Structure 1
Amino acid sequence: MASASHRGARAHEVIGETPDRDTYAVGHAGVFRDLLPLALWVVDAEGRLAQWSLAAQDLLGHTPEEMVGRDARSVLVPEENLELADRLARAVRSGAAVVARLPVRHRDGSVVDMEMWHCPITDERGRAGVLAIAAETSAVERMRDALAALEGLFTQSPIGLAMLGPDLRFLRVNEALARIDGVPVAEHVGRRVTEVAPGAGALESVMRQVLERGEAVVDFRYTSGASDPQRTRTWSCSYAPLLGGTGRRVGVIASLIDISEGQRAHLEAERARQRLALLAEAGTQMGSTLDLTQTAQEVVRVLVPRLADSADVQLLEEAMAPDETAASAHGVVRRAAVTFTDPAAPADHLAVGMTVQVPPDSVYEQVISAGRPMNLYLGDIGRLIPERGADRLRDFLYARVGSARLVPLVARGTVLGAVVVTRTREREPFDDQDTLLIDELVARAALNIDNARMYGRERDAALTLQRSLMNPSLPTVSGLELTGRYLPAGDHEVGGDWFDAVALSGGRTALVIGDVMGHGIHAAAVMGQLRTAVRTLARRDTPPDELLRALDAAVADLGDNEMATCLYAVHDPATGHCLVARAGHPPPVIADARGEVAFLEGAAGPPLGVGRQDWEVQRVVLAPGSLLVAYTDGLIETRGTDLDQGMRRLAQALRHPGGPLDRICDGLLAHVMPEVADDDVAVLLARILSR
């Protein structure tokens, strides 16, 4: 079942700006809204949540209305961290401020690792409570990485760099710019360009244009000291809008380089600009998916052509293979992605999917075994092709490549393979700044590849488990023709949706469809338990409402955070009647032989696991030739799409219920399913046969 939470940052929501929200829905911290979403909540002296911010809702899924008044410890703290949480709470209530990294339970049952600041707070009665300020650890680390990259750029760049605020006053400059202006760094901050360099009004006009239009200006030429030929200097100035996290323009970043003594400084400025852009783009382009092949392709797209003329991602089979086959793949690498800008590169030796045994003592073996990068230049380039039978590739490299760098893909202490990047002879060899940037990008790529590798293994295990627990074949039963489908959410999500049919006494048939909250192995395992329970209870002729009560108790026994929906129906071909009971599940659709379509009316009842056992049973008469269609919410409900719109599409797909049932089912999925599904989908169709 898809989680309803949305983790992106909201607009500027604070107390009082949205009159339809209760005042305890504390808004986002405005100072950080563009940089780091901060969740805030307050726990009173009794351990109950007194305030819950909208940013906390974004990060953890719970709404303020759901959270205020609940016991913070039971709803937020994973069981294995209860003792630590109690210890921290005691420390804060004693007056200490505590900073810690803690896992916090998300509304969908997952655990979110968070950096947290716990501060003592006193309520109006003078009792000690806790104010918690939290940020997702991964966001903190991304921000830390970005700041480190920016710091490195400002301290190492030989060109003049500056950041200016929306009022075009200096926020930061580097030493290079201070030397150019002849004014110390500290005396720049807070001043305008014309206050530091009188007569530079043209530069300020260009920056104002960049800020207003949101468009960069590159290589704007500016001449200073024109009245004194001995002191005349020509500068190449580039300006780009500085964007906050929401895309709002918050200032200007400027680079300034002296080009009066040649073009070398200009080239350095361009390379520095490209490095800055590459670092910025890598954060959005790499790791956008958990698909291993696509992740490897993202790596080469980031590196080529701006930083290199070729990139080759090769992964160790033993690192990618299942444990039982890893030993047989020792020392074998498989090409996961490759690109060469030179069309003369021999494609038959560079095909994606090719495997090669890494020869002992080769440069690949040295890089992989030592876990350290290596540079190769000119005469050493042939060492990139140690195997026999690749003379054309070796000749191509000798003729075209001037420098190469081999970088191991290392993540969490494991070497996953290597990335090889090269430059042609027409291009300058990799320098120290290039290699630092390449190594940083490959390190990020390794983590993304490792995430995709681990996720792929978990998904494969979940899919295998689900297939073993849910037999997709349906029985031949009296009075009904049946078919069904299960579709995971894309290629990378397996959930807990299932359907089934059980033959009962007297020629009756039980039809069931359900949806377990969450995804992965756990959801598939819970689905298997519920499916087994339904089959057992159905064969005992348990009435629909009593069956749902038994399932509710079973789900509750699995833990506080377990939840599922279920529809259970019993069809009697002798009378044409069908008894239907629903636990939080979408209403089934009934389409008669004339194409009249209607959704079953009546309350759905609470989902399984919430402890409210008030389900009603509806009796429906199904005429021969009509269709009963049951489905999970992933079919009609997607992020950004109105639920009613999904139900209308479903109704339209059933206007012509004649023809083979399998064809109707496939056509229904093709018409209703979104191109990119947010959740897995199960569909069960039953056609009423003539009595």
Structure 2
Amino acid sequence: MDIQQSAKDVGQPQTAVGQAGVFRDLLPIAMWRIDSEGRISQWSLAAQELFGHTAEEVLGRSATPLLVPVANWELADELTRRVLSGEAVVGTLPVRHRDGHLVTMEMWICPTADPQGRTGLMGIAAETSAVLRMRDSLAALEGLFTQSPIGLAMLGPDLRYVRVNEALARMNGVPAAQHIGRRVSEVVPGLNTMALETVMRQVLARGEPVVDFRGLGRTGADPRMERVWSCSFSPLLGGGGRRLGVIASLIDITREERAQLQATRGRQRLALLAEAGTRIGTTLDLRQTAEEVVQVLVPRVADSADVHLLEEVLDPDEATASAHGMVRRLAVAFADPAAPAEDLAVGMTHQVPRASAYEQVMVEGRPMRLTRADIPRLVPGPENERLRSYLRTLGCARMVPLVARGTVLGIVMVTRSRRREPFDDQDNLLIDELAARAALGIDNARMYSAQRRAALTLQRSLANTALPTVPGLELAGRYLPASDQEVGGDWFDVIALPGDRTALVIGDVMGHGVHAAAVMGQLRTTVRTLARHDIPPVELLRSLDAAVADVGENEMATCVYAVHDPADGSCLVARAGHPPPAVAGAGGEVAFLDGPSGTPLGVGRRDFQTERVPLPPGAVLVLYTDGLIEARDRNLDQGMLQLARALRHRGRPLSRVCDRVLARLLPRGAQDDVAILLARPLHPATRHEPPD
């Protein structure tokens, strides 16, 4: 550089230095020399750039006419005399550019020896506008670094800190001076420093800024709390676009991120509650409901969920139900493959430990937060050591009682591993709400199961399906409930009458459950009582209609009452809103009674009529309820057509005919209660026909 050359010329020691990047890029410094005769004897490259004259054009020429405006010649002569007398002069002066315009310069002019040893002068100058820009930039930079609440840092091309402000020092919990010369990973190792440095290298390589990159982790300022920063990086560019380093700015957005995270979690919790409303309690099955609970909880809310119910809730009549605090695991889910599955098997029972947190939750009916130290004590005894060892690896747990209608039914326990954050208040509220919904679903299933057991017991006691032996008729009958969970009011009966006659009855009480079964029992008893008084079919149905009305104004039932007389081989049939009976002839033809159907029992119109139906030997009278022919995938007409086809396969014992009909019409089980009664006059030719 020409500035080094000037130092050599004036006898100053030469120092080996690198590129003067600041002078060259940010503040070019012009230097020239004038000998004792006022002629230019040295001209720097910076002077050439600033004033437009090359060294060949100015060396040996008089300086004042070339560089000084005419109006300043007198001032130039005065300054020259002062300098030649040994004074150094500093000031702001205009210099004429080669193209004629003036360049205002900040100058330092001092005496120096020319090559002949006589006194000349040396001028050093920088363009005033550049000086002002640098001054303002430095002031702005200084103000930014000292006053900005945003964390700021300058890093060199080796990504080591060159300067940081106090805001960043406070964020990092490290004094500003201890940053200088160190890498990010050395100052704040708790951050995602590899990702941060990768981004800064990309900024250096591409020369393009990166905005709002997220820094995550813990610093010395608050090592217990993970924080989030919005980081922006810009390349620090020199002259010619040379990349000198990176400018980094950081804003702590932990609060905003947490607020957004809480809002997101809130939406997720609401969505989960909405989903739970559609998934929990979809059936009236205790075990299915418990399974639905754990499926909702794991893994979105917890890493494991365990549903225990008291034995007295599951099997109130069993001997184990009387044991205090005996519980059974009804459902479990765990995301950790290391969990001891054999120790967490569904169906396992155990006694609730006395004076334990488990017992406290069940007695008080309030949830409890469990610490890591509390969890192993839930499973005492040497046989549970493996399970206790696993439980010690968990991070947190919450035990929630299943309470419905003031009764504690059992407990749900949920846990999280140490890899996840502990349950917070919102998590606890969500878990408690899900447990409350689960308890209601389980209690509904429990009450339904109890009601169903009562209905089945009542129906078995009232609707004995055992058929009597009567003169001249072969009989077969079946009753199928809609499902294992539902029982209704369908029934059939066979009653012996005077004169070897037989009453055949089938009926259907609307509804399901204990009430329908009880009404059915009343009607069956009424029919048997009236039939034994040999009351004609129409009168019997009218009396039955009054009996239904006495039960309640909203009660309704249908019925068929038929009387078979072997003397003339016919049946006298009366209907009360019931589907028409079918008659399957010995030749394979099938016909449905087309007489008046009558009005249902309980309506009050009592519009009943009789129809006499021939029933020769080999023919089969088929009485049934609408559950046999009506289903979601077919209407009544289609069902009757399928029944007619199924009845053509006969000529065998009626029990087999009955089973074949049910198999053909109900291949996937009954959708409603079904009762069917078949009667065939005895005939020696068909009585012992071998089965096919």
Shorter-chain TM-score category? Answer: 0.5 to 0.7
- 1:206 is aligned to none
Pick closer, same or farther for the CA change 1:393–1:543 going to 2, 3 Å. same
1:297 maps to which of 291, 307, 322: 291
Report the Cα distance in structure 2 between the residues aligned to 1:636 and 1:565, rounded to whole angstroms.
15
How far 1:407 moved relative to its partner? 0.5
1:481 maps to which of 467, 474, 483: 474
How far 1:674 moved relative to its partner? 6.9
Report the Cα distance in structure 1 between the residues aligned to 2:344 and 2:334, rounded to whole angstroms.
9
Match of 1:484, SS state, is strand
How far 1:231 moved relative to its partner? 12
| % identical equivalent positions | 69
Report the Cα distance in structure 2 between the residues aligned to 1:310 and 1:616, rounded to whole angstroms.
66
Any conservation in 2 of the 1:359–1:387 contact (CA below 8 Å)?
Answer: no
Any conservation in 1 of the 2:507–2:625 contact (CA below 8 Å)?
Answer: yes
Match of 1:570, SS state, is strand
How far 1:321 moved relative to its partner? 4.2
Report the Cα distance in structure 2 between the residues aligned to 1:381 and 1:451, rounded to whole angstroms.
31
- 2:521 is aligned to 528
- 1:671 is aligned to 664
Report the Cα distance in structure 1 between the residues aligned to 2:432 and 2:387, rounded to whole angstroms.
25
1:503 maps to which of 488, 496, 502: 496
1:680 maps to which of 662, 673, 677: 673
Counterpart AA for 2:401: P
Match of 1:574, SS state, is coil
Any conservation in 2 of the 1:376–1:404 contact (CA below 8 Å)?
Answer: yes
Pick closer, same or farther for the CA change 1:536–1:451 going to 2, 3 Å. same
1:138-185 deviation digits (Å, cap 9, x = unpaired): xxxxxxxxxxxxxxxxxxxxxxxxxxxxxxxxxxxxxxxxxxxxxxxx
Match of 1:478, SS state, is coil
Q: TM-score, normalised by structure 1?
A: 0.60
1:552 maps to which of 545, 548, 563: 545
How far 1:583 moved relative to its partner? 0.4
Match of 2:374, SS state, is helix
1:375 maps to which of 369, 373, 377: 369
Counterpart AA for 1:368: M
Match of 1:378, SS state, is coil
Report the Cα distance in structure 2 between the residues aligned to 1:406 and 1:554, rounded to whole angstroms.
54
Q: Does 1:331 align with 2:335?
A: no
Pick closer, same or farther for the CA change 1:655–1:323 going to 2, 3 Å. closer
Q: Does 1:516 align with 2:509?
A: yes
1:565 maps to which of 544, 547, 558: 558
Pick closer, same or farther for the CA change 1:234–1:628 going to 2, 3 Å. farther
- Map 1:396-415 to 2 at 5 A: 396-399=390-393, 401-415=394-408
Q: Does 1:580 align with 2:573?
A: yes
How far 1:459 moved relative to its partner? 1.5
- 2:460 is aligned to 467
Aligned-pair Cα RMSD in Å: 2.7
- Map 1:445-460 to 2 at 5 A: 445-460=438-453
Report the Cα distance in structure 1 between the residues aligned to 2:209 and 2:411, rounded to whole angstroms.
53
Any conservation in 1 of the 2:311–2:321 contact (CA below 8 Å)?
Answer: no
Q: Does 1:280 align with 2:274?
A: yes
1:482-506 deviation digits (Å, cap 9, x = unpaired): 1211122212222111101012222
Any conservation in 1 of the 2:320–2:326 contact (CA below 8 Å)?
Answer: no
Report the Cα distance in structure 1 between the residues aligned to 2:212 and 2:264, rounded to whole angstroms.
19
Counterpart AA for 2:664: H
Any conservation in 2 of the 1:567–1:580 contact (CA below 8 Å)?
Answer: yes
1:307 maps to which of 291, 301, 310: 301
Q: Does 1:429 align with 2:422?
A: yes
Pick closer, same or farther for the CA change 1:525–1:315 going to 2, 3 Å. same
Match of 1:667, SS state, is helix
Any conservation in 1 of the 2:482–2:674 contact (CA below 8 Å)?
Answer: yes
- 2:627 is aligned to 634
How far 1:347 moved relative to its partner? 3.1
- 2:583 is aligned to 590
Report the Cα distance in structure 2 between the residues aligned to 1:480 and 1:347, rounded to whole angstroms.
60
Counterpart AA for 2:642: R
Q: Does 1:317 align with 2:311?
A: yes
Any conservation in 2 of the 1:234–1:259 contact (CA below 8 Å)?
Answer: yes
Counterpart AA for 2:441: N
Counterpart AA for 2:635: D
Report the Cα distance in structure 1 between the residues aligned to 2:478 and 2:411, rounded to whole angstroms.
41
- Map 1:132-281 to 2 at 5 A: 233=212, 271-281=265-275
- Map 1:19-30 to 2 at 5 A: none
Any conservation in 1 of the 2:561–2:573 contact (CA below 8 Å)?
Answer: yes
1:392-440 deviation digits (Å, cap 9, x = unpaired): 22222224x2221110011111111100112233333222221111111
Q: Does 1:391 align with 2:348?
A: no
Match of 2:558, SS state, is strand
Pick closer, same or farther for the CA change 1:674–1:557 going to 2, 3 Å. farther
Alignment gaps of 5+ in structure 1: 1-228, 236-256
How far 1:670 moved relative to its partner? 2.5
Match of 1:491, SS state, is coil
1:178-201 deviation digits (Å, cap 9, x = unpaired): xxxxxxxxxxxxxxxxxxxxxxxx
Report the Cα distance in structure 1 between the residues aligned to 2:517 and 2:229, rounded to whole angstroms.
63
- 1:168 is aligned to none
Pick closer, same or farther for the CA change 1:385–1:258 going to 2, 3 Å. same
How far 1:640 moved relative to its partner? 6.0
Decide which moves more: 370-379 or 277-286. Answer: 370-379
Report the Cα distance in structure 2 between the residues aligned to 1:259 and 1:387, rounded to whole angstroms.
52
Counterpart AA for 2:498: S
Pick closer, same or farther for the CA change 1:329–1:683 going to 2, 3 Å. farther
- 1:354 is aligned to 348
Any conservation in 1 of the 2:506–2:559 contact (CA below 8 Å)?
Answer: yes
Q: Does 1:440 align with 2:433?
A: yes
Counterpart AA for 1:366: Q
Any conservation in 2 of the 1:565–1:583 contact (CA below 8 Å)?
Answer: yes
Q: Does 1:654 align with 2:647?
A: yes
Match of 2:493, SS state, is strand
Any conservation in 1 of the 2:315–2:321 contact (CA below 8 Å)?
Answer: no
Counterpart AA for 1:313: V
Q: Does 1:600 align with 2:600?
A: no
Counterpart AA for 1:502: I
Alignment gaps of 5+ in structure 2: 1-207, 215-227, 232-251, 685-692
- 1:217 is aligned to none
How far 1:442 moved relative to its partner? 0.5
Any conservation in 2 of the 1:304–1:311 contact (CA below 8 Å)?
Answer: yes
Report the Cα distance in structure 2 between the residues aligned to 1:306 and 1:653, rounded to whole angstroms.
52
Number of residues of Structure 1 aligned to a counterpart in Structure 2: 441
Any conservation in 1 of the 2:361–2:401 contact (CA below 8 Å)?
Answer: yes
Pick closer, same or farther for the CA change 1:580–1:378 going to 2, 3 Å. same
Any conservation in 2 of the 1:362–1:386 contact (CA below 8 Å)?
Answer: no
How far 1:343 moved relative to its partner? 3.6
Q: TM-score, normalised by structure 2?
A: 0.60
1:184-238 deviation digits (Å, cap 9, x = unpaired): xxxxxxxxxxxxxxxxxxxxxxxxxxxxxxxxxxxxxxxxxxxxx9995589xxx
Q: Does 1:416 align with 2:415?
A: no
How far 1:639 moved relative to its partner? 4.3
Report the Cα distance in structure 1 between the residues aligned to 2:211 and 2:328, rounded to whole angstroms.
58
Counterpart AA for 2:465: P
Pick closer, same or farther for the CA change 1:617–1:441 going to 2, 3 Å. same
Report the Cα distance in structure 2 between the residues aligned to 1:234 and 1:272, rounded to whole angstroms.
25
